[in-house]
Amino acid sequence: MNKRVKRWAPIVALTAFFAGTSPAADMLSKDLTSTIALLGLPCGQVVSAKRLGENDYLATCSNKMRYRVFVNAQGRVVAQRQ
């Protein structure tokens, strides 16, 4: 193998590893996307999510809409447009 390839291979591998999103973040985005869709709201796909509290998230969708997704006092999941 070429010396240059041997030198750059670990750098490329580490860059790809650290550049990717975590599996937990991917799962949260998928869960929020499904929740918003099941509530009948337009979203497309959740591209980012910020945790506001326990069972309380601010989701930003691919169509630029933002929703606060949380569990209300009655135990129901609610999504409010922000």
Q: Per residue in 10-56, pLDDT tens? A: 555 444 445 555 677 788 999 999 999 999 999 999 999 999 999 99
Res 5 pLDDT > 50: no
Q: Which helix (H) or strand (E) element contains residue 31? A: helix 23-38
Q: Which two tokens stand for residue 3?
A: 């010396």
More confident residue, 13 or 76: 76
What is the value of pTM for the model shown? 0.71
Mean pLDDT across 45-68: 94
What is the structure's pLDDT at 19? 52
First and final C-alpha spacing in the chain: 55
Q: Where are the domains of the chain?
A: 22-81
